[in-house]
A and B are shown apart, each in its own frame.
Chain A
């Protein structure tokens, strides 16, 4: 089955700087790659996603890139703010009729230093 690896496990960034989190996946059939933000005591919140027919997607300070050949995708957060501090998870899925399950990475704890 699909295996998703995520690095780094922890990341500390000065406020205003950029943060990058990287993930690799094993199954070349994967076609959907969401990123979730999880704050303490809450469920994961979808922040951005990308599909395999797109190489890059941006939403304000957040961007995601996908390299299908290398089977890796990355989350980029620019101009970081204290409220960006949280645990971030990448995930991968082979979306299709009868299959929507997500396989998650192990998470990155991001700390923004004021």
Chain B
């Protein structure tokens, strides 16, 4: 079946611009996660939804980062007033629930110039 999809795959933004990154989870998956992966590093947790409820946003680095999942399916990660340090790959993952098994999308590579 279809896996997790993310769009766009690549995004270049000028410093100060706002960006929106989209994630389509696997159909029927209750939980959705956003991670940030810097070059040469492991993914770092940003935020997590169970259906439409955002249960944990402890990893969001600043109030410029905002995520939503209004209908419990597609999710959007928004970054306002982008900074160079926001340059990274943003990964989305989904799971059936408290099974632990998270399935990742291909990521969106964000470059802030």
Contacts and interface: CB of A to CB of B under 8 A. Distances in A.
Contact of B98 (A6, A100, A104, A107): A100
B106 A93 contact: no
Interface string B91-113: 10101011011111111000000
A99 B101 contact: no
Contacts, number: 68
A108 to B, nearest CB: 10
Interface residues of B, number: 28
Interface residues of A, number: 28
Nearest to A89: B42
B100 A95 contact: yes
Contacts of B59: 101
B73 interface: no
Contact of A104 (B44, B56, B107): B44
Interface stretch (A13-21, A38-46, A57-65, A66-74): A38-46
A104 B100 contact: no
Contacts of B98: 95-97, 100
Interface of B: 4, 31, 33, 35, 40-45, 48, 50, 55-56, 59, 91, 93, 95, 97-98, 100-107
